[in-house]
Amino acid sequence: MRTLLPPLATLYLSTTLAGLVRAQNVLPPPGQPAQQGNINNFEIIGDSLVSAQQLFVGTEDKVFIVDKVENNPARINGHPAWASEWALGSNKQRTMDALTNTFCAGGNVLGNGTWLNVGGNQAVTYGGNPAPSQDGGGPYDNPDGRQSIRLLTPCDDGKCDWILSPHQSDQRWYPTLETLEDGSIIILGGCKWGGYVNWPPEQDTPTYEFFPSRGAPVQSNILATTLPANLYPLTWLLPSGLLLVQSNWNTALLNYTTGEETPLDDMPDAVRVYPASAGTVMLPLTAANNWTATILFCGGSNVRPKQWLASNFIVPTYGASTSCVTLTPDVSGSYVQDDPLPIARSMVNFLFLPDGRIFALNGASLGTAGYGNDSWAIGQSYADNPVLTPAIYDLSKPAGQRWSSDGLQASVVPRMYHSSATLLPDGSILISGSNPNADYTTDVKYPTEYRTEIFYPSYYNERRPQPKGLLSQLSYGGPVFDIQLDSDDLFGNVQNVKNASVIIIRTGFSTHAMNMGQRYLQLESTYTGYSNNTATLHVRQMPPNPAIVVPGPAFIFVVVNGVPSVGLQVMIGSGEIGKQQTLPPGDLPESLIMQAPGGAAANANAALGPGSGSSMVWKWTLCVCSSILGGFLAGW
């Protein structure tokens, strides 16, 4: 005898499935880059309106730049500008008002897509000297920014502006920001005032706090015990949900919910934090490495704590380090030696290319970050001998062969202290900034720099894949979705689908040789290839752990034989700040190459996605439905 499902159960089931298998928008296929580039070379594309001490990609078309307060020729609201927007498509710019002094602030993006810029310096006047009033006015009209939390929700219509949160942080100059698995942000460290390094101890801010606020700041042992080189502490959220914090020579795991800190091994060879400013990055996260986080640290300076303060420390003559080490903190607390840099470097940026290689650029082989009026300074710069030739780190190569500069041309623009760089959606690299000076300065060896460059990687002029079926929003777990690749996308050979991957990149907030929040993840996928040289990629959504890649905006690329599509901006997670829903991951079919269905290429090119008839979606839905129904009836 058939038992009818009670009406309440029917309502429960339909509501649950509506939430689990809601329609997800499919993005239009990406196109081709708007121009050709000079492969493996730099091109100056114009001057920024303000010097790019900080920058980030806010939309597919807009880069936002933040400077410290100084006498930039560009003006807004009757005072010099220290923020701007750059439109990539038109190369047009506009000034923006950052409201308070953003000098050496930190930044990152919330899970809802709003960017934070936190902290900064006191109000200043000519020459970077303290202003008579900390509330604004004077020639630069810049209120004290040390407690400021500035917010920007990026736009493409030129109407978005920075606003101030009514909540204020501790006084923080040189803080680090890291987005957490609920889309909120932790704010760590910094100082109240000071100069080259964090000394005396009275100026230290050895605490962390959250935005949105979770109450009073919390004391941190590693920040309190690593003076004087504890500014911009190197921080990553790990898949375990713990934070890796590296400061001066010390390393710890921080449980930010309990406040417990677990010491790990000391950093070998060199200081990596500011002002030594090594290149740092979390290596790609893949199913093959079980989403295990490994951090790469390269360069910096071998300076002992007392040496930073010594009167005989002639900084711009001190050689940087070539040392590279890795740490896999969820597995082991010990560092492992890796291939050294080809050239010693301080202030070096590490950026992901969509093909998984790491692009290293900027910086110098002598000295460190910082500036001052010392007799031995180069103008005011604490560094000299800029390294103009980039290098590429390729983890797929055997040990001893991972670094190379073969075929890479040198820049003509020294990128010293206060430089920044980021990956762009078309797969090129934007480079700007450099200003080791207290104020706008032109008559020194390393002046205030506005020239902005693009670097064009080896794949840039190749015909790019134009995949169909990319989703605008990805959940943590959930149904498999399908991406269609035509013959052109596969370069006329279906076998190339074996070398196709779907990549998620958070480009991060670039400042002081860091890209806070930068991540690279390869989604799990299989393929069905067809004899007409088309294929379908079957793709799992994000791993069901928001600590692996946090919620918020990111870029999705499809890479075929090392050639990436133009990246499209997607939202990871709910698009809201709060606990993220996790779902069972969908089942992937085995990879195979077969005859085109019905012999027609059109069938192979049909765009499929969740709810559009994809067999994978309905297989997942049936599984979830059966589980929910079985559990409900068992308790009925």
Backbone angles phi, psi at 96, to 5 degrees: -135, 155
**What pairing do the DSSP bridges indicate for beta strands 514-516 and 509-511?**
antiparallel
Question: For the residues of 277-303, what is the DSSP string, one character each?
Answer: --EEEEPPB-TTTTT---EEEE--B--
Give the pLDDT of residue 597. 62
**b (16+ CB within 10 A) / e for 213-229:** eeeebbebbbbbebbbb
Query: Residue 419 burial (CB < 10 Å; 0-12/13-18/19+)?
Result: buried
Neighbour-count burial of 594, counting CB atoms closer than 10 A to its CB (0-12 exposed, 13-18 middle, 19+ buried)? exposed
620: domain range?
A: 19-30+463-634
Cα–Cα distance measured from residue 101 to residue 122, given in angstroms and rounded to the nearest whole number: 7
pLDDT tens per residue, range 59-68: 999 999 999 9
- How high is the pLDDT of residue 628? 36
d(CA 531, CA 535): 9
Calculate mean pLDDT across residues 567-574: 99
For residues 233 and 191, the answer to whether their CB atoms sit within 8 Å is: no
Contacts (Cβ under 8 Å, ≥6 apart) of 563: 355, 459, 462, 463, 464, 465, 491
Q: How far is CA 117 from the centre of its chain?
A: 14
Q: Looking at the domain assignment, is residue 514 inside a domain?
A: yes
Residue 8, pLDDT above cutoff 80: no
Indicate the SS3 state at residue 248.
coil
Residue 611 has pLDDT above 90, yes or no: no
Answer whether residue 223 is part of any domain: no
Which amino acid is residue 577, in one-letter code?
I
* Per-residue pLDDT at 3: 29
| CATH code at position 492 | 2.60.40.10
**Structure tokens that stand for 359 in this block:** 């692009």
Mean pLDDT (the chain, rounded): 92
Does a structural domain hold residue 586? yes
End-to-end, the C-alpha distance of the chain in Å comes to 17
User: 616 pLDDT exceeds 50?
Assistant: no
pTM (predicted TM-score): 0.92
Domain count, the chain: 1
The rounded distance, in Å, linking the Cα atoms of 547 and 527 is 27
- What is the per-residue DSSP string for 441-471? --SSSS----EEEEEE-TTTTSPPP--B--B
* Torsion over CA: 351, 340, 235, 285 (sign): positive
Euclidean distance between CA atoms 555 and 61, whole angstroms: 12
| Residue 513 covered by a domain | yes
DSSP state at residue 598: G
In this predicted model, what pLDDT tens digit does every residue of 335-372 receive, in sequence order? 999 999 999 999 999 999 999 999 999 999 999 999 99
Give the three-class secondary structure for 55.
strand
Mean pLDDT of 125-141: 97
Positions of E strands within 387-448: 391-393, 403-404, 419-423, 429-433
pLDDT computed for residue 595 by the predictor: 79
- In the predicted model, what is the mean pLDDT of residues 178-201? 97
580 within some domain: yes
pLDDT in tens, 89-130: 999 999 999 999 999 999 999 999 999 999 999 999 999 999
The C-alpha atoms of residue 382 and residue 367 are separated, in whole angstroms, by 6
- Given a contact cutoff of 8 angstroms between Cβ atoms, the answer to whether 500 and 560 are in contact is yes
Q: What is the DSSP string of 183-212?
A: S-EEEE--BSS-SSS--SGGGB--EEEEES
3 state DSSP class of 94? strand
Residue 550: what pLDDT?
99
pLDDT in tens, 421-452: 999 999 999 999 999 999 999 999 999 999 99
Cα–Cα distances in Å, from 235 out to 115, 197, 252, 401, 573? 18, 19, 10, 28, 22
pLDDT, residue 24, reads: 72
What percentage of the chain has pLDDT greater than the value 90? 89
d(CA 500, CA 489): 10
Q: Which amino acid is at 184?
A: S
pLDDT grade, residue 600 (50/70/90)? very low
107 domain-assigned: no
Contact 219, 207 (CB under 8 A): yes
Does an H or E element contain 281, and which?
strand 279-282
184-201: average pLDDT:
96
Element containing residue 553 per DSSP (H, E): strand 552-560
Amino acid identity, position 27: L
Element (H, E) at 9: helix 7-20
Query: Does the residue 543 lie in any domain?
Result: yes
How much is the average pLDDT of 274-296? 99
Asked if residue 483 is part of any domain, the answer here is yes
**Res 619 pLDDT > 50:** no
Number of neighbouring beta carbons within 10 Å of residue 413: 20
Which of 619 and 351 is assigned the larger pLDDT?
Answer: 351
Q: Which of 486, 510, 456 is nearest to 558 (CA)?
A: 486
